[in-house]
Structure 1
Amino acid sequence: MRDLTDYSVKEWLTATPLAHRLRRARNRMVDRIYRDRPGEGQAQVVEAMRGAPVAAFTVAFNMPDAIAFLSDAMGRFLPGTPLVVCDNSTNAEARAAIAGLCAARGHPYCALPPSPYRGGKNGSRSHAVALNWIYANLVRPAAPRVFALIDHDLIPLAPADLAASLAGQPCYGLVRHGEGNAAWYLWPGYSVFDFAAVKDLPLDFGTDTPLTLDTGGQNWSVLYRALELPRLRMASRQRVYLADPETGETEHFLLTDRWLHVGGAGHRGGGPGALARVRKAYDADPQGLITALFASGPLAAG
Structure 2
Amino acid sequence: MRDLADYTPAEWLALTPLAQRLRRARNVLVDRIYARRQAPGQAELVARIAAERAPVVAFTVAFNLPDAVDLLADAMARFLPGTPLVVCDNSTDPAARTAIAALCARRGLAYCPLPPTPYRGARNGSRSHGVALNWIYANLIRPAAPRAFALLDHDLIPLEPTDLAARLAGQPCYGMVREGQGNDAWYLWPGYCVFDFAAVKALPLDFGTDTPLTLDTGGQNWGVLYRHLDLASLRMSSRRRVHLADSATSEMEPFLLADGWLHVGGAGHRGGGAGALERVRQAYEADPDGLIARLRASPERLNA
Could you tell me which amino acid in structure 2 is paired with residue 285 of structure 1? D
The letter for the 1-side match of 2:231 is L
Calculate percent identity across the aligned residue pairs. Answer: 72
Residue 98 of structure 2, aligned match among 69, 78, 96? 96
* Aligned partner of 2:162 among 160, 163, 168: 160
Q: 2:117 aligns with which of 77, 100, 115?
A: 115
Residue of structure 1 equivalent to 2:34: 34
SS of the equivalent of 1:121 reads helix
SS at match of 2:244: strand
Aligned residues of 1:242 and 1:297 also touching (Cα < 8 A): no
Q: Which moved more, 1:111-120 or 1:133-142?
A: 111-120
Deviation at 1:296, TM superposition (A): 3.7
1:268: how far off?
A: 1.1
Q: CA RMSD in A?
A: 1.3
Q: Which consecutive residues of structure 1, in runs of 5 or more, have no partner in the other structure? A: none
Partner of 1:189: 191
Give 1:8-87 correspondences, 5 Å limit.
8-50=8-50, 52=52, 53-87=55-89
Note the alpha carbon deviations across 1:125-174, whole angstroms, 9 max, x for none: 00000000000000000000000000000000000011111111000000
Q: Which residue of 2 aligns with 1:212?
A: 214
- C-alpha contact 1:85 1:108 (8 A) present in aligned 2: yes
Q: Which runs of 4+ in 1 moved over 6 A?
A: none
Deviations 1:223-252 (A, max 9, x none): 00100000000000111111288x854421
Q: Is the 8 A contact 1:57 1:83 kept in 2?
A: yes
Determine if contact 1:237/1:301 at 8 Å carries over to the other structure.
no
What TM-score do you get using the length of structure 1 for normalisation?
0.97
Q: Supply the distance in 1 between the matched residues of 2:115 and 2:154 (Cα, whole angstroms).
A: 18
Give the drift of 1:299. 5.5
Tell me how far apart the structure 2 counterparts of residues 177 and 237 of structure 1 sit (CA, whole Å).
13
User: CA offsets per residue over residues 57-82 of structure 1, 9 Å max, x none?
Assistant: 00000000000000000000000000
Match of 1:7 in 2: 7
CA deviation profile, 1:194-225 (whole Å, cap 9, x unmatched): 00000000000010011000000000000001
Matched with 2:294 is: 292
Q: Are residues 40 and 11 of structure 1, via their aligned partners in 2, closer, same or farther at CA, if it must alter by over 3 Å?
A: same
Query: Secondary structure of the residue that 2:176 maps to in structure 1?
Result: strand
- Structure 2 runs not aligned, ≥5 long: none
Cα distance between partner residues in 2 of 1:54 and 1:294 = 26
Instruction: Give the match for residue 203 of structure 1.
Output: 205
